Structure 1
Amino acid sequence: MNYQDTVNYCLSRPEATQDYPFGPDVSVFKVRGKMFALLGTSGQSGKELGTEFAGCDFLNLKCDPDEAFMLRDIFPEVLPAYHMSKKHWISVVLKVSMPANEIERLIDRSYGLVVKGLKKSERAQLELHYSAEEIYR
């Protein structure tokens, strides 16, 4: 999954918006004002994700701590989140070796976790306009 495919997929989620609060090089995706994904590019020095991923695009996603631990064991492209809570967020390096369907699943999971954390009234409004399958894939 490349950078533009990732942008398109994140924006396909119900009521997803894109913002640039950290500057023009970092896209933040939100639902109802709450971030569910951050998309950026590692610098050439590799300080963000390590030298093996220098210059690579990456996606920070909310993730269940137990699932994050397992994902890091399975995929070398899944790391503790750069510049965010290492317990509740992961960084996914967008390399061809990382299956696109797994990246989509992780985006859906992050989105669903954020929606579940919304106020009951906000969640109800989303559920009124969209099917549970669209929201909690």
Structure 2
Amino acid sequence: MVTRQDIFTYTEDNLGITPVYTFKRNPKYAILKNRQGKWFGLVMNVPQNKLGLTGTTELEILDVKVDPELASILRDKPGYLAGYHMNKEHWISIILNQDTDAHSLFQLLDGSYELVTNK
């Protein structure tokens, strides 16, 4: 299982990025920004029903920016949803649970960083 701390450790060790907490109403929401201040990741705890799922249990999710073609492919897989509170074409939400594949998640996180950094 990939946890929010695993994500933060990865981004700090590999990209030199630490999370920023700016949402007073949602103090657990953590933004991952590149050095130019562009968001490439957002870790949140969101009730299932806000994600279009059944139930009200809070889930930990990671939003990352992806190529629209890749987003459409990933949204067909379990654990991947249209980006919560983000542009649905360019962002996906990844549910952090026991089925989350760490290697794939970190590749998507790296890709998101590259997308916003190399524009």
Partner of 2:11: 10
Alignment-derived partner of residue 132 in structure 1: none
> Match for 2:31 among 6, 28, 31?
28
Cα separation, partners in 2 of 1:112 and 1:18, compared to 1, 3 Å = same
Equivalent residue number for residue 109 of structure 1: 111
Q: Which has the higher helix share?
A: 1
How many residue pairs get aligned? The number is 114
- For 1:29, the aligned partner's letter is L
Aligned to 1:131: none
Contact 2:63 2:84 survives alignment (8 Å): yes
- Percent identical: 36
Greater C-alpha Rg:
1
Cα distance in 2, alignment partners of residues 12 and 54 from structure 1: 31
Following superposition, the deviation at residue 79 of structure 1 comes to 0.4
- Choose from 39, 43, 63 the match for 2:43: 39
CA RMSD, aligned part only?
1.6
Mapped contact 2:49–2:55 kept (Cα < 8 A): no
Structure 1: distance between partners of 2:85 and 2:49: 11
TM normalised by structure 2 equals 0.86
| Structure 1: runs of 5 or more not aligned | 118-137
Tell me which stretches of 4 or more aligned residues in structure 1 moved more than 4 Å.
Answer: none
* Aligned 8 A contact 1:17 1:31 in 2: no
Q: 1:103 to 1:2 in 2, by over 3 A?
A: same
TM-score, normalised relative to structure 1: 0.76
Q: Distance in 1 between matches of 2:72 and 2:113?
A: 19
SS of residue matched to 2:41 = strand
